[in-house]
Amino acid sequence: MASEGNKPVIYYIYDALCGWCYGFSPVISEFFRKNRDNYEFQVLSGGMVTGEQEGPVNEVAGYIRDAYRNVEQTTGIEFGKAFLEGTLEEGTAYFSSVPAALAMALFRTQRPEEMIPFATRIQKAIYYDGLPPAEVSTFGECARDFNMDAELFQQRMTEPAVQNLVQQEFHVVARWGVRGFPSVVYKDGDQAFMISRGYSPLSELEQTFANVRAEIARKKSDF
């Protein structure tokens, strides 16, 4: 995706239905807080659950019941009672990455500087608050938290232009060869570096980022 300005860009590539991305949300939020003044942040949705993979949550409930504990133990995140005893146990909520990606793409056109907070809010809505991940009302509630008109946001999510943005986004992520989420890519000029693939603690992400920047600076000085 094209950069909006002249700053180096940090791309957070995630999927709203990715449990490890939910666990990573405090890490990327703090990384964003520390670096937002010097770098442009963009969020790309990966399209993890699309097409034939879509369906009611009870099709993957057994896997989630095992996996969520590992995510909690590793990352310290908490899956909410409303999700575990509501969404998961009830089992009929439809799982698709597309609605959240539509919300993210629409939000980008209006508040590009707040994409990281919005992405983390979406995941909290799904995995803590237990809101249905395929209902536009879920994302209207998220937009309301950013002082946006929830009803208008919900209406605009299904506009053809927004749908086209999402398809372009999925294509970019696939073309970049990103298969696992979360991933963080740092782009400086025409150079791009994967600085996180899968979950990593903040200290590890920061160290990798520092190493990459040092290597870029060294190459520039050699030139």
CA 145 to chain centre: 17
Contacts of residue 187, Cβ cutoff 8 Å, sequence gap at least 6 = 3, 8, 9, 10, 11, 193
User: Which pLDDT value is given to residue 1?
Assistant: 60
CB-based burial, 176-190: b 16+ in 10 Å, e otherwise: eebeebbbbbbbbee
Domain ranges of the chain: 9-222
Q: Where are the alpha helices (DSSP H) in 38-191?
A: 61-75, 81, 89-90, 98-110, 115-127, 136-144, 150-156, 160-175
What's the CA gap between 34 and 194, in Å, rounded? Answer: 19
Just give the CATH number of 9-222: 3.40.30.10
Q: Residue 31's closest CA among 17, 14, 55?
A: 14
3-state SS class at 69: helix
Eight-class DSSP state of 129: S
Tens place of pLDDT for every residue, the chain, 223 residues?
Answer: 656 568 999 999 999 999 999 999 999 999 999 999 999 999 999 999 999 999 999 999 999 999 999 999 999 999 999 999 999 999 999 999 999 999 999 999 999 999 999 999 999 999 999 999 999 999 999 999 999 999 999 999 999 999 999 999 999 999 999 989 999 999 999 899 999 999 999 999 999 999 999 998 888 776 5
